[in-house]
Every structure is written in structure tokens, then in C-alpha cells.
Amino acid sequence: MNEDLLRKLEDLGLQGNEAKIYLSLLEIGEATVTQICKNAGLNRTTGYDILERLCLYGVINKGVGGKKRLYIAESPAHLEQFLENKKRRAERRVQEFKNILPELKAVYKTELKPVIKIVEGVEAMRQMAYNELDAKGVIYSLVNLKNYAETFDEMGSHRSLERFRRGIKERCLSIDSETARQWYEKTYKGKKRRQENTEYRWLPWDKRYSTAGEVAVYNDKVMGVLSKSSENVAFEIQSKTFADFLKIIFEMAWGAAK
């Protein structure tokens, strides 16, 4: 068997055993399965399956000689037609792939690429804030309740109660304000088990910074609710690396807080 031709047929797209069977049949002419497989150095079962496949490709054909089934190679020009058809199918698949590529990118997840979601409007912000209830461990929260509790008081109360019922603990760094103190007293004062579930420490208000809302870190996610009227957006970033960075910073601030 011509090894050089065999390699060239494989380069054109025929699989190794397909190329052997096809080239063997070109050399022999009309032959039975047994004769073809013997010449190609393959067992009969493997050879029969490949012959049937090559018939589907249109590069060989079947005939009958007495009681025996015979196979005969079509003109090599048929192989060109097969390759042209294969090329057209490949081009069509490439185009189909391009059509669904945006959808595939949308669901693609990797540790190297954060997944970011952003929503706008009070109701959508409330719904995203409830995602904290998916926490598998402690929630690390930095919150400024001024210009936040006024709009999201009901959601915050319900979420806090539901988190307590589920046994999800939270460590909260709250920027000190009258609004924050009132919220804390209403929600936690005199409730020992609630206080054990949710630890608060206080950060002094700093006029250099303009903040309103909450940033919470849990699992591999960072969730933020930006509640200033000029913003009114919430976001969620899924990235273990980013979440771990913020947990380190949170621990440093926690140690310095009152």
C-alpha cells in the first residue's frame, strides 16, 4: 500500500482506517469484504463498518457477484465531491456556531473571568439584595443605612429575620449615624440570639466620602446596593478572587472598628 498516498488521504479528511480501506479498494478494484480487509490489514468487522460508511460518503458502491456482496470504488472524482460537501457542511456549522456564540459567552464561567450582573430600580434592587440568603457561610457586610434604610426598611427587616431563621451569620460594619442606631435598636436591641447571629461594629462617618447602601461579601460573590437617588442600582460580581480580596480588607477594618 502506498504510504505517501495514505498520509495524503488522511490529510484530506479521511480517518486512518477509512483511508486504508479506500486505497485498498482502489488498488484491487471490485472485491469482497474479506479480500478488501486482508489487503488493508484490518479485521472483517471493522472493515465492513468502514465500507458501509464510505458508501454513505459516495466514494464507493455496492454490487452483487453471485451470492457474495462486492464493493467497488467510484472514480476518484467522487472523493472530490465528498470533500466539497464536507467543506460546505463545515462552513455552515461555523456560521451556526457564530450565531450562538453570544449565548455561549453569556453562560461561560471561569475563575479567570468574573460574572457581573447589574440591575436598576428599587424593586429589582430588592430582589438582588435577597440573594444574600444563598450564603453558605458568614456574610461580611459594609453598610451605610442613611439614605438606604428609608427606602429598603421593610426588605431589610424581612431579610434579616429570614437570615436568622436559616442560621446564616453576618458580621456588619456599619457607618455610624442616627438612622443606623435606630435600625439596630429596632432590629437587635434586647434580642440576645439575634445579636449572636449578627455582630455589629461601628465606623465613624467621614465627610470625605459619599456613601449610601450596602456592599456584602459571601460565598464567591460581592453584592452591592447603591441606594442614592442619583444611582439606584444593584450589582453582583461572582469572582472568588475578588471576594477573597474584600474579605481580607474587611477583616482589617473589623479589627479596627468599635
Instruction: Compute the distance between CA of residue 223 and CA of residue 179 in angstroms, rounded to an integer.
Output: 22
User: 16 in a domain, yes or no?
Assistant: yes
What are the b/e assignments for 165-197, b being 16+ CB within 10 Å?
Answer: eeebebbbbbbbbebbeebbeebbeeeeeeeeb
What pLDDT score was predicted for residue 66? 61
User: 88 in a domain, yes or no?
Assistant: no
Q: Residue 32 belongs to what domain range?
A: 3-80
What pLDDT score was predicted for residue 219? 93
> Beta-carbon neighbour count of residue 23 at 10 Å?
21
Tens of pLDDT, residues 139-186: 999 999 888 888 888 888 899 999 999 999 999 999 999 999 998 999
User: 65 in a domain, yes or no?
Assistant: yes
| Averaged pLDDT for residues 219-224 | 94
Same domain, 136 and 248: yes
User: 92 in a domain, yes or no?
Assistant: no
**Sequence-distant (≥ 6) Cβ neighbours of residue 58 within 8 angstroms:** 74, 78, 81, 82
Q: Domain boundary residue among 64, 80, 96?
A: 80
Best mean pLDDT range from 87-91, 187-191, 214-218 = 214-218
Q: Radius of gyration over alpha carbons of the chain, in Å?
A: 35
CA atoms within 13 A of residue 74's CA, in its CB half-sphere:
16
Same domain, 137 and 247: yes
CATH number of domain containing 200 = 3.30.870.10
Pseudo-torsion of CA 216, 218, 221, 227, nearest 10°? -20
User: 41 in a domain, yes or no?
Assistant: yes
Please report which confidence band the pLDDT of residue 75 belongs to, taking 50, 70 and 90 as the band edges.
confident
- Percent of the chain scored above 90 by pLDDT? 40
Pairing of β 170-175 and β 221-226: unpaired
User: 145 in a domain, yes or no?
Assistant: yes
Same domain, 74 and 156: no
Instruction: Compute the distance between CA of residue 247 and CA of residue 139 in angstroms, rounded to an integer.
Output: 10
What domain count does the chain have?
A: 2
Helices in 132-198 by DSSP H: which ranges?
149-166, 178-188, 192-197
Q: Domain boundary residue among 32, 56, 80?
A: 80
User: 110 in a domain, yes or no?
Assistant: no
